[in-house]
Copies of this chain bind each other. A is one copy, B any other.
Amino acid sequence: MTLATTDPDMDAAAADAFSIADIDAAAQRVTGIVRRTPLLESIRLNDRRGARLLIKAECLQHTGSFKFRGAYNRLSAMTPAERARGILTYSSGNHAQGVALAARMFGVPATIIMPADAPAMKRRNTAEYGATVVTYDRHGENREAIGARLAEADGLTLVKPYDDLMIMAGQGTVGLETVAQCRELDAVPDLALAPAGGGGLMAGFSTAMKATFPAVQVMSAEPEGYDDTARSLAAGRRLSNTGTPPSICDAIMTPSPGELTFAGNRKTLSGGVVVSDAEARQAMATAFEELKLVIEPGGAVALAAVLSGHVDVAGRTVVVVASGGNVDAAVFADALALKGRAT
């Protein structure tokens, strides 16, 4: 379905409101706090795919995903009065952990609304960083409504997971680092892929990549059943997913692209790729074997898109973002049991 809130004029204005200058400013704020994650290359994977694959290992970021970047950038812009009152957010787990750690660093009380079926590791870690966790039923309750009610009652600042220019700019520092690392390698990427949930990483990453490499083709990767970005890009307007089918890619089971994120992504992206749960698991197993990285299902969909042959990479230099690694042990062991050598 088409979202009622889509307004081409507003989209255009929002897109104009976000630029590489926002990401450069974010980089100034997060440098020295955020980890510069490595851009890894496996000679054996390159051989197998006949391509040069450069994997941005954002699973090695603090809290195990890129989300810490946006959260830290967002909190750094709050006033002392806002910080004293506290913040609130909703998240399936990675944004939750990123916000919880950033809040701890700034001494800000944090309340985090998480689905009751979020991975145990994500709930536990969020609480251990000192945040107050409130759970809700992903299938029956509306997290935005719960959040608005709690935020209003206590004067809390809502830290949105993706549809916020400061969040998008923070996530964009993944792209800035990748640009610098490509230059260190004398690599000019032909193609770049990242996982897409609400599109915050996608918007920041694609903006940063295209600012330096205007000819690079940037694509989103999503799991089956949650291909709202791919379909929205094809339609030229925001479309939402139907229902909440099961997926192992818990990190990116978002209902639709964000308004601000899609306004940017419709200008920078060439399209979206969709992968199955089995392909995501296979990519996790390959990353275990060839990269020695722990990647969670949702974080592995861009790698899965490349390894499973859904995009043509032959002879090309391809950047792939591995966006997170917060996966429960049983899920990871299941992926390894597949053997991991299909490509």
Q: How far is the CA of A333 from the CA of B332 in the complex (A)?
A: 8
Q: How far is the CA of A337 from the CA of B332 in the complex (A)?
A: 11
Q: How far is the CA of A336 from the CA of B285 in the complex (A)?
A: 15
User: In A169-219, which residues have CB < 8 Å from any B CB?
Assistant: none
Q: How far is the CA of A98 from the CA of B179 in the complex (A)?
A: 29
B292 touches A59 (CB 8 A): yes
A149 close to B (CB within 8 Å) = no
Give the interface size class of chain A. Answer: 20 to 34
Partner of A292 from the list B64, B101, B125 (CB cut-off 8 Å) is B64
Point out the residues of chain B lying under 8 angstroms from A62, CB to CB: 43
Q: How far is the CA of A173 from the CA of B310 in the complex (A)?
A: 40
B329 touches A125 (CB 8 A): no
Q: How far is the CA of A332 from the CA of B291 in the complex (A)?
A: 15
Q: How far is the CA of A57 from the CA of B339 in the complex (A)?
A: 24
Interface string of A42-64 (1 = CB under 8 A from B): 01100000000000010110101
Point out the residues of chain B lying under 8 angstroms from A44, CB to CB: 125, 128-129
A109 close to B (CB within 8 Å) = no
Partner of A332 from the list B37, B64, B288, B295 (CB cut-off 8 Å) is B288
Point out the residues of chain B lying under 8 angstroms from A101, CB to CB: 43
State the 4 A-B residue pairs at the shortest beta-carbon distance, nearest first. A292-B325, A329-B336, A292-B294, A333-B333
Ordered by A's residue number, 10 sampled pairs between the chains whose C-beta atoms are within 8 Å are: A35-B40, A37-B38, A121-B289, A285-B329, A288-B329, A289-B329, A292-B294, A292-B295, A332-B336, A333-B336
